[in-house]
Structure 1
Amino acid sequence: MKFEELGLHEGLLAGIRDAGFDALTPIQEGSIPPAILGSDVTGQAQTGTGKTAAFLIATYQRLHASDRQVARQEGCSLPRALVLAPTRELVVQIEKDAAVLGAHTGLNTLCVFGGVDYEKQRKQLEAGDIDVLVGTPGRLMDYLKQRVYDLKQLQVLIIDEADRMFDLGFIDDLKWLFSKMPGPDRRQTLLFSATMGFNSRELARRFMNEPVFVSATPDQMTAEKVRQALYHIGSREKIPFLLGWLKRMGEQATRIMIFINTKRMGEKLQDYLAANGYESGYLSGDVRQTKRLSVLSRFQEGKLPILIATDVASRGLHIDGVTHVVNFDLPLDPEDYVHRIGRTARAGTEGDALTFCDEYTAENLPAVEKYIGMKIPVEWFEEAELVTPIEPPRSARKPKESSGRDGGKGRGGRSERGERGGRRRSEQPSEAAPQADEKVVVAQVAPPVPAPEAATAVEGEGVKPKRRRRRRKPADAGQVEGGGESVAPVVEAVVAASAQPVAAPVEPSASETQPEPSKPKRPAARKRPAVASAQKGEAKIDSAQAVPAQEGGGVLKAGSVLKALFSESNEG
């Protein structure tokens, strides 16, 4: 069927000719006629079969057939068609296709998504001259909450890659957007996807008005002209085998897409390819948006031979001339396998898809083969086909830039957080944990002996030192427990030394007793507490008070105290 047979607007036919379209594909032939008549349509078809052109052509024809009910407003756009897509790359791709198909229609198209100039997109929306608005749910919700645009004049709603919307958790965002637009009976809804799961069918039942279901999928889920090959290979052999395969293919593999499951593996693989002389680009959700668009543009123009990507690039991207797709990691979701290998053999061409199945992803293989309805042909390789890779320099093994607001640098990554904040910080000595040599010095210093005053002060505070319990022995009072030798001679010597007569003090004269007015009085000496008692029933003796001696009229201090201490010790 030819496009001229549909009775389309002449400006739209001119855009179709500019795009190089002649005959309708099966999904276009089944979906465009009912969509032009105003019916809701649910379309399912493989990637690369023209789904994007199908809903764009139907939308442009519908907008030409109906006039704008309300004039454009300055400061707030009133789009008549809204296209929702799950990824930024898909939004950009839809806008490019819309720019070609609608070049002669007089309708204006704008795409909005995160990761690029926020104020620039806002000003474009505020200009109030937008007919078709394309965007991701997050950025569309943001501008709608700020009343930069309004959906009260919406006539056509398109949801592209509906299943992917659910995989990325956009269901709540979709419901919120549905609540801000006219109901299903007052708008037309077109829903397209390469796979039509339960969630997509439930969405069509709840938010669409008796849709026409169009399926253009053959019995085989994957593209017919894709030559598939499965290699059972160890995880450590994948990079050596990939390098050997690239070397053998030479100029036969001019444009290659390599899909991985994790961002870390993508960074590692890019470093190894660069170290071994292969230029490549890398796409993931952490790469800032401006760089993602630049890498994708270089690959589409043929300036970059190899593109490494997560599943962010597996849906809806129209890249002509992809000769080979390599599943470096077997995908976790069987649907992703269909979308990945659908990047090659597009628009009737042929292509090859290689899949590496290692010990970590082998458990996913049965689900993939069940979903596509066939066994992937297995091919074997010889050990001679492995190439010893050149190790990338350590400086190259660093995290790639992220898509944060700070320009993609993240918060330092491993080089900042790991080396500066981790290893280098641990090398600095901590005050709470001394170095080993400091411990040796402390161990060599003998512990200080507290002064008697300090011990007395501690006892005064209520902290009593532990006393060792002594066993009573029927020993002489002059014997020291456990010692076996008498201490009486020592005590008697101390008492004799202390009992030496002291000369009587000389009485001062009357003049000397008068205190000098210029000199302050000396404070009274502090009395020390009693430290022991001589015998039971006797008064306590203060070590600072003088006790009259029995002989010679001298002063007895230390001798009496020591004698009293030993007596109390023996009694205890």
Structure 2
Amino acid sequence: MTNTLLTEKAFSDLPLHDDLLRALTDAGLTHCTPIQAETLPLMLTGRDIAGQAQTGTGKTAAFLLATFNRLINNPPAAERRVNQPRALMIAPTRELAIQIHKDALLLNKYANFRISLVYGGVDYDKQRDELREGVDILIGTPGRLIDYFKQKVYDLKAAEMMVLDEADRMFDLGFIKDVRYLLRRLPPVDQRQGLLFSATLPYKVTELAYEHMNNPELIKVNPDQVTADKVTQVLYHVSKEEKIPLLLGLLKQMDPKRTILFVNTKHVAEKVWGYLEGNGFQAAILSGDVPQNKRQKMFQRFSDGELAILVATDVASRGLHIPNVSHVFNYDLPQNAEDYVHRIGRTARAGEAGDAVSLACEEYVYSLMEIEEYIGYKLPTQPVSDEMLETNPAAPVRRERSKPPAGRSGGGQRRGGGGNRRSGSGRRDGSQSKPSGR
């Protein structure tokens, strides 16, 4: 839960159920953030909402409170079956789904709803069995949700609430057909409430909202303030050959305690990781092919301070909630302007301050103009002096390659066999189809 800049509107001033107010009080939450203050009064009356606000400003708590309040105050239909969720919450990444689930459990302290979390990469049978046993609120990523839906593990005929989080990222990751598949299987828009939240609301997202929601109210909090005002940003123009020496020099000068370092490709991630490890910085690589159990251990080590640096591709730029990230480095400038905003949004969360350092080399500097146009100002630049460069960096460490399990090729064949995009196999959220006959 966030505790960013608060408004004067108290949760107790809203028509929230006592069970929710007690849970909020126990969590030390008394007043609304701006996005909560703007959206909750409307959502609590049953209005559909498309909300935009910066990352880390309380969007998750807003739609969870609205969902819980509606479900508490409206008992389910007598004919509803236990495997028919009353609320569906769709997230683009495993990490975001996990964070939503964590916040939901906090608010569920006295409400006692059955909340299920499904996402790819782990616990296939366990998640499926839990759904069959009964679910009130279903949180998940598109691939695994569709997989179980097509197996008739659950259906959406009794859904009263639909929440779509980080909708623009659904487009970026190629999930939009999957999202539309799920939305078309919900009850008609006049028989349910729809909530959509995101850091940005481009035209394609608002079009989706009007297509699958009931005349949603557009709510934008600080839409002109694209990047968090407490992020100190700086840009260095540097050649590709000097990026490693400059990075190592800056890290030694800044001594950042918890840093996410973004690159554009996995190949570069491995190169940078090798130099970091070789020069005394504990680091780990976060990319789309890291197994889920390993990802969770990595996040825990990073959050606990055992790892100083995460080297990440853009799979990590959205949906992560890691407190106290002190620095974000764009080792490579992103090729998409919106990704710049999402990357630096990993720091300065919950009202804290942070630093964002970008290195503009000849390969990626072409995207700088688009980034500056998108954020509405020029990034402050500083010159690179010889004193800033690490003159004699140690040789990079070579990363050990794990061998594929016996009986499987290193190509990572899908369990579903066909790789059919519509079947749910091979999705970037990590879910896969199961073989027939399971």
Pair in the same fold by TM > 0.5: yes
Letter in 1 for 2:145: L
Q: Kindly indicate whether the alpha-carbon contact (under 8 Å) linking 1:287 and 1:400 is maintained by their aligned counterparts in 2.
A: no
Q: Kindly indicate whether the alpha-carbon contact (under 8 Å) linking 2:237 and 2:384 is maintained by their aligned counterparts in 1.
A: no
1:354 to 353, 357, 362: 357
Give the secondary-structure state (helix, strand or coil) at the position aligned to 1:257.
strand
Q: Residue deviations 1:56-83, cap 9 Å, x none?
A: 111111111110113664xx61110000
Give the secondary-structure state (helix, strand or coil) at the position aligned to 2:257.
coil
Paired with 1:228 and 1:132, the residues of 2 have a C-alpha distance of: 40
Q: Is the aligned partner of 1:304 residue 2:303?
A: no
Letter in 2 for 1:272: Y
Paired with 1:94 and 1:166, the residues of 2 have a C-alpha distance of: 20
CA drift of 1:7 comes to 2.5
Give the secondary-structure state (helix, strand or coil) at the position aligned to 1:326.
strand
Q: Kindly indicate whether the alpha-carbon contact (under 8 Å) linking 1:70 and 1:153 is maintained by their aligned counterparts in 2.
A: no
Q: Which residue of 1 aligns with 2:396?
A: 392
Q: Kindly indicate whether the alpha-carbon contact (under 8 Å) linking 2:50 and 2:217 is maintained by their aligned counterparts in 1.
A: yes
Paired with 2:274 and 2:140, the residues of 1 have a C-alpha distance of: 33
Count matched residues.
402
Paired with 2:156 and 2:95, the residues of 1 have a C-alpha distance of: 24
Q: Which residue of 2 aligns with 1:273?
A: 276
Higher Rg: 1
Q: Is the aligned partner of 1:83 residue 2:82?
A: no
Q: Residue deviations 1:509-566, cap 9 Å, x none?
A: xxxxxxxxxxxxxxxxxxxxxxxxxxxxxxxxxxxxxxxxxxxxxxxxxxxxxxxxxx
Give the secondary-structure state (helix, strand or coil) at the position aligned to 2:32.
coil
Paired with 2:17 and 2:42, the residues of 1 have a C-alpha distance of: 16
Q: Kindly indicate whether the alpha-carbon contact (under 8 Å) linking 1:286 and 1:401 is maintained by their aligned counterparts in 2.
A: no
Gaps of 5+ in 2: 1-8, 413-438
User: What are the residue-to-residue correspondences of 1:475-490 with 2, within 5 Å?
Assistant: none
Q: Which residue of 1 aligns with 2:20?
A: 12
Q: Is the aligned partner of 1:214 residue 2:219?
A: yes
Q: Is the aligned partner of 1:164 residue 2:163?
A: no
Q: Kindly indicate whether the alpha-carbon contact (under 8 Å) linking 1:266 and 1:308 is maintained by their aligned counterparts in 2.
A: yes
Q: Which residue of 1 aligns with 2:344?
A: 341
Give the secondary-structure state (helix, strand or coil) at the position aligned to 2:356.
strand
Q: Residue deviations 1:350-398, cap 9 Å, x none?
A: 11100110000010000000000010000112112211221124xx245
Q: Kindly indicate whether the alpha-carbon contact (under 8 Å) linking 1:267 and 1:400 is maintained by their aligned counterparts in 2.
A: no
Q: Residue deviations 1:189-244, cap 9 Å, x none?
A: 00011011111011111111111111002523100111100000111211111111
Give the secondary-structure state (helix, strand or coil) at the position aligned to 1:149.
coil
Give the secondary-structure state (helix, strand or coil) at the position aligned to 1:142.
helix
Q: Is the aligned partner of 1:226 residue 2:231?
A: yes
Letter in 2 for 1:262: T
Q: Which residue of 2 aligns with 1:52?
A: 60
Q: Which residue of 2 aligns with 1:105?
A: 111
Q: Which residue of 2 aligns with 1:255?
A: 258
CA drift of 1:275 comes to 1.2
Q: Percent identity?
A: 51
Q: Residue deviations 1:249-286, cap 9 Å, x none?
A: 23xx2111111111111122112111111111221101
User: What are the residue-to-residue correspondences of 1:157-556 with 2, within 5 Å?
Assistant: 157-250=162-255, 253-387=256-390, 388-393=392-397, 396-397=398-399, 411=410
Q: Residue deviations 1:473-507, cap 9 Å, x none?
A: xxxxxxxxxxxxxxxxxxxxxxxxxxxxxxxxxxx
Paired with 2:356 and 2:25, the residues of 1 have a C-alpha distance of: 32
Q: Kindly indicate whether the alpha-carbon contact (under 8 Å) linking 1:334 and 1:367 is maintained by their aligned counterparts in 2.
A: yes
Q: Residue deviations 1:278-309, cap 9 Å, x none?
A: 11122110111110111112212333221111
User: What are the residue-to-residue correspondences of 1:62-141 with 2, within 5 Å?
Assistant: 62-70=70-78, 73=81, 77-128=83-134, 130-141=135-146
Letter in 1 for 2:142: P
The CA RMSD over aligned residues, in Å, is 1.8
Q: Which residue of 2 aligns with 1:29?
A: 37
| 1:401 to 1:351, Cα distance in 2 relative to 1, 3 A | farther
Paired with 1:171 and 1:149, the residues of 2 have a C-alpha distance of: 21
Paired with 2:319 and 2:291, the residues of 1 have a C-alpha distance of: 20
| 1:225 to 1:50, Cα distance in 2 relative to 1, 3 A | same
Give the stretch that moved more between structures: 50-59 or 313-322.
313-322
Give the secondary-structure state (helix, strand or coil) at the position aligned to 1:152.
coil
| 1:242 to 1:18, Cα distance in 2 relative to 1, 3 A | farther
Paired with 2:322 and 2:239, the residues of 1 have a C-alpha distance of: 31
Q: Residue deviations 1:18-74, cap 9 Å, x none?
A: 33322111111111111111110000011111111110111111111110113664x
Paired with 2:114 and 2:394, the residues of 1 have a C-alpha distance of: 51
CA drift of 1:401 comes to 8.4
Q: Residue deviations 1:320-353, cap 9 Å, x none?
A: 1111111111011101111111111112211110
Q: Residue deviations 1:75-132, cap 9 Å, x none?
A: x61110000011111111111111112222111211101100211111111112x111
| 1:279 to 1:34, Cα distance in 2 relative to 1, 3 A | same
Q: Kindly indicate whether the alpha-carbon contact (under 8 Å) linking 1:231 and 1:380 is maintained by their aligned counterparts in 2.
A: yes
Q: Kindly indicate whether the alpha-carbon contact (under 8 Å) linking 1:79 and 1:151 is maintained by their aligned counterparts in 2.
A: yes
Instruction: Identify which of structures 1 and 2 has the higher relative contact order when contacts are C-alpha pairs closer than 8 Å and 6+ apart.
Output: 2
Give the secondary-structure state (helix, strand or coil) at the position aligned to 2:57.
coil
Letter in 2 for 1:54: A
Gaps of 5+ in 1: 414-572
Q: Which residue of 1 aligns with 2:435?
A: none
Q: Which residue of 1 aligns with 2:436?
A: none
Give the secondary-structure state (helix, strand or coil) at the position aligned to 1:349.
coil
Paired with 1:412 and 1:209, the residues of 2 have a C-alpha distance of: 45
